[in-house]
Structure 1
């Protein structure tokens, strides 16, 4: 009887914790701006620290890791009462010679183009866009003949891993708007649908990271990597606003809503999403990059009328407060899983530039929801 009482007490304590966390409200707008500024300033101060990577292809300021940072940093620059953030982004872009990464087809090497496009929209200087246009035009004219499969990284010309759906498709959607050339949008849509048909689980409404996880199980659980799905979910918010009303926009919007419905059910009572979305008991460590992308994506959906506020706001509030709890006093965002392709480990004192980008993106939408 004593053991049963202890178990019941533990369960009730867990329920109380979940309820109190879920009902936690968003802070005031000034507090959101304050923590965003602290995180952004820390990252700029430590901008070069991220260059000590084993993989030489990541040691570039136009690599995908940095491209993801710039997307969030540009969103922060729009909110900040200081032009230094735009000046930082302009300097980075100039240092990159406004060029994409070296891989002609590789989605990762197109990510930084999203920054150049947004700076072009603000400053209207053709040189900011020229090399991104040159690359994408070449790809359209010379489509890869590789199959839609990764095959242990043998085939990376096409979007054969789910992260790619954040990296490249928004570039194409934005270019269609800027140029008025619908072929950019149509090319992107066809490739995107091919990836969905390859990696999307229609029952779970989630993406496998790549083909090697489709039939794999982790102690009986399907393996849906948190950040991998975060890449897709965050990428959808960058694509949908660029699309005119019609079948393509309807397709992406339905995919976004289906993922949102699945994701909200998988949030942990602590507020984060586990590194393996359906196996939280196997991965109890918090992880902030996937969580930040989901927070960003859900808040964007509420702000744009795609998601019901009453249903989704509690999850957003819980997630944002959890993210902020992992920001150190000096501005370092902890528990960002290192570069990888599957659920793994994270640490309170370890961060990555793409995690900062995701956090700043989340803050840009939470700010609109805040008191």
Structure 2
């Protein structure tokens, strides 16, 4: 992206609200040249197509498809669908084709939330192509998540959660609430069977009761009382994905919608004047982080488009986030200031010290989600 464009976008962010942001849903339309969701989505999707299977920055290929790749693949597919880009969809299907053959070992065993989310990709491919082989694979993965505990990852808590009607893969890390809801929502969209999304909604209540704090934000885990940016981003995006498809007569929907709105209202208070959010959401001295900013923007865009959020309040906030976010893209369509893959730790400094990566798929994926959401 040329420097002149970046300077122009930066100038837009500094204009008074009455001049820089249109009211309501119109704030999410009519972006300047070089900043439209169509242009950004095409560039980021093309970058993904050209990128080999990634392995969390390691110099060798992964043993199985990683969850950041899954999330980016899913985002690219939804962008292809909403833009009617058949060639892009075919390229994304071609990327999958070896997994039905000699490279089937790259398909993750669905025994952990980070692996099971992979099912969202074949389910999206089924929705777009109607090829049964995608449905069979995706449904198998979604079903395994609520099947009986099995495999080397089973721990005593697995049996306890399973006996209570939750997935045995429950960890009570906020990351889970995208990983679980994405694949289960997709299974309902692909099959029409609401049992998938109903059980995901019930699981969401467990996480809300366990991790959401009075300020609307979420601890990373019960033993990690920090408002980590991307962790909260996973939760925001997960609630948005769930609410897009959970039936209106689901008894858990009002509680989820209330929690989502509470979180969005809190995020407004912590958004920087330039539209970004921070590595630790409530710490303005922590660095500005792009993956969480993209995820929060996606959640707000989705809320405005579906009427869950006040458009005059959240439309301009989401627009500002998008316009700021894309200034972090380089000439290769790689986004910088992406927090590296992060485990849970009871240490404030641990989160501050995480490496800032460029082009990491944790950051590329939310760009595609936002582009899709802006065009829906």
Distance 1:314 1:185, change over 3 A: closer
Q: Structure 1 length normalisation: TM-score?
A: 0.80
Cα 1:328–1:88, aligned 2, differ >3 Å: closer, same or farther? Answer: same
Question: 1:294-339 CA distances to partner (integer Å, 9 max, x unpaired)?
Answer: 1111011111111111111221121111111111123221111111
Secondary structure at 1:48 match in 2: coil
CA deviations on 1:203-246 (whole Å, 9 max, x unpaired) are 111111112213xxxxxxxx201110111111122111222112
Per the alignment, residue 330 of structure 2 pairs with 328
- 1:326-365 residue pairs with structure 2 within 5 A? 326-341=328-343, 343-344=351-352, 350-365=358-373
**C-alpha root-mean-square deviation of aligned residues, in Å?**
3.2
Q: d(CA) in 1 for partners of 2:227 and 2:329?
A: 26
Q: Are 1:338 and 1:351, in contact at CA under 8 Å, matched by a contact in 2?
A: no
How far the C-alpha of 1:165 sits from its partner, in A, is 0.7
Q: How does 1:123-162 map to 2 (within 5 A)?
A: 123-143=129-149, 146-147=156-157, 157-162=169-174
Distance 1:43 1:305 in 2: 31
Is 1:208 matched up with 2:231? no
Normalising to structure 2: TM-score of the pair? 0.79
Q: Which residue is equivalent to 1:41?
A: 46
Written as runs of structure 1 = structure 2, the 5 A alignment for 1:157-176 is: 157-176=169-188
For residues 31-180 of structure 1, the aligned pairs below 5 Å read 31-32=35-36, 33-45=38-50, 47-48=51-52, 50-51=54-55, 53-54=57-58, 59-60=62-63, 62-80=65-83, 82-97=85-100, 101-143=107-149, 146-147=156-157, 157-180=169-192
CA contact (8 A) 1:62 1:96 kept: no
Deviations 1:238-285 (A, max 9, x none): 11122211223223222221111111111011211011011112x1x3
Take 2:353 and 2:84, find their aligned partners in 1: how far apart are those partners? 36
> Alpha-carbon deviations, 1:42-91, whole Å to 9, x = none?
2322x1273364599x9256321111111211122124464232122212
In structure 2, the CA distance between the partners of 1:145 and 1:49, relative to structure 1 (3 Å rule), is: closer
- In structure 2, the gaps of 5 or more residues are 1-10, 22-29, 162-166, 345-350
Contact kept in structure 2, 1:224 and 1:276, CA below 8 Å = yes
Mapped to 2, the partners of 1:172 and 1:146 lie a distance apart of 24
SS of equivalent residue, structure 2 residue 274: coil
1:261 corresponds to which residue? 265
Q: 2:275 aligns with which of 264, 271, 276?
A: 271
Alpha carbons 2:304, 2:311 under 8 Å: kept? yes
Cα distance in 2 for partners of 1:264, 1:156 equals 34
Instruction: Measure, in 2, the Cα distance between the counterparts of 1:107 and 1:261.
Output: 28
The residue number in structure 1 matching 2:7 is none
Q: Deviations over 1:105-142 (max 9, x none)?
A: 31111112112111111111111021232233344341
Distance 1:31 1:136, change over 3 A: closer
CA distance in 1, matches of 2:209, 2:119: 26
Distance 1:346 1:24 in 2: 34
- Superposed CA offset, 1:171-226 (max 9, x none): 2233234434443234323332222222221x111111112213xxxxxxxx2011
Q: Which residue of 2 aligns with 1:234?
A: 237
C-alpha contact (below 8 Å) 2:64/2:106 kept by paired residues: no
2:127 alignment partner, SS class: helix
